[in-house]
Amino acid sequence: MSFNSGFPVVFTTSQMNSGVGGSENISDSLGNILFYTMGFTLYNRDNNVMPNGWAILGGSLCAVNYMKIAIAFQRLDDGTKYYLINAGCGSFPNPSGLRYSVIDMNLDGGLGDIPPGMNGLAIPGGARAYSAVTATRDHNNHDIWFVVRLQDTDSNYYASYHITSTGINFTPVLSNSLVPMYTPPAISHSIWNLRISRDGTKIMAVYNDILEYSNFNSATGQVSPMFHYTFPACGDKPICPSDAEFSIDGRYLYVSAGGADATCTLMGILYQFDATATDSAGFAQSMVQLALVHYNPGLQLAPDGKIYVTNPEVDSLSVINNPSSPGTTCNLQRNDFTSLCRALFCDYL
């Protein structure tokens, strides 16, 4: 969607087709689209695949199985070039690992392309990265941190990478997690998404069965876990989180999940939590169930400060109009854009 006019207008010509997630887009400072991707194919503003924009990560499953596998930002030393970071996909012990590509907007007549030899380069220390990547500004409000989770028998870590005007620092800052990603002989948890609050102080890790809430130090890249939280099951039916998003002021956290409601009926659920909670008890007590939905929704904070909520396989988006307000005063409007996606499935923003 474009917000240039002050309200959202659908971008109808997009070639994006990412049934579960993995999408990323970049616009210029005026809000004009430059390129977008679902994680493995890169499209220019004319909605054509860039000449060297195929197989950035090496397979379509990377796009359809993971919530947030790609993130992009402008290089700090050259405003005409961009980094595209891809978290790993595939299951242990053979994830594809953390990779980066460079997009040069001077190429292909100004439509942009990946220069030869700059497509899908492996990032040292990220071979066991898996499924999700997030990013935030450094405390200096200039440099960038991007963060992934590592999955290995001896790599129960967050890995934070620093980007400055000299490029990517390939020596990550490692931080211990409270949630083991791998417990031999079986994988115990799978990371779905990572979200950092707009002020760069909190990070939420969304796993297939648990949430992990941590402090983030945007000056050092260090992640300091505070607590983890598991939704109470309804009988033998667990509630499994799928996505999360902070309000623009970091006051509230919204979490989507799939599982059973109070009557043990299986469906998607949307919750609000107090993002200032410092322990799992306070976090649990603050939970407000906002809506029951058709399927696990994706959540995205938009330039207008609202959070947009996808309705997979439904031709509309819902919107949280006042995400910084408590409980139902956040003003969730269901199916607010009923003609937004027309006959297409609404994708994660």
Q: Please tell me the distance from the alpha carbon of residue 18 to that of residue 293, in angstroms, as a whole number.
A: 20
**pLDDT value at position 340?**
43
Residue 274 · residue 247 · CB < 8 Å: no
* Average pLDDT for 102-117: 96
List, for residues 212-231, the tens digit of each pLDDT value.
999 999 999 999 999 999 98
pLDDT at 345 over 50: no
Q: Please tell me the distance from the alpha carbon of residue 126 to that of residue 130, in angstroms, as a whole number.
A: 9
3-state secondary structure 183-224: ECCECCCCEEEEEECCCCCEEEEEECCCEEEEEECCCCCCEE
Residue 275 · residue 244 · CB < 8 Å: no
pLDDT at 150 over 60: yes
**pLDDT value at position 342?**
38
Distances 124 to 70, 115, 157, 199 between C-alpha atoms, Å: 17, 21, 15, 28
**pLDDT value at position 56?**
62
**pLDDT value at position 63?**
44
How many CB atoms within 10 Å of residue 95? Answer: 20
Q: Please tell me the distance from the alpha carbon of residue 147 to that of residue 135, in angstroms, as a whole number.
A: 6
Q: Please tell me the distance from the alpha carbon of residue 11 to that of residue 344, in angstroms, as a whole number.
A: 12
pLDDT at 205 over 90: yes
Q: Please tell me the distance from the alpha carbon of residue 154 to that of residue 111, in angstroms, as a whole number.
A: 43
Q: Please tell me the distance from the alpha carbon of residue 201 to that of residue 54, in angstroms, as a whole number.
A: 35
Look at 75-84, 147-156, 177-186 and tell me which has the smallest mean pLDDT. 177-186
List, for residues 14-40, the tens digit of each pLDDT value.
887 665 556 788 998 888 899 998 777
**pLDDT value at position 210?**
92
Distances 187 to 180, 182, 190, 191 between C-alpha atoms, Å: 9, 5, 7, 11
Terminal-to-terminal C-alpha distance of the chain: 8
Residue 163 · residue 214 · CB < 8 Å: no
Q: Please tell me the distance from the alpha carbon of residue 164 to that of residue 76, in angstroms, as a whole number.
A: 6
Please give the model's pTM, rounded to 2 decimal places: 0.90
Q: Please tell me the distance from the alpha carbon of residue 168 to that of residue 67, in angstroms, as a whole number.
A: 24
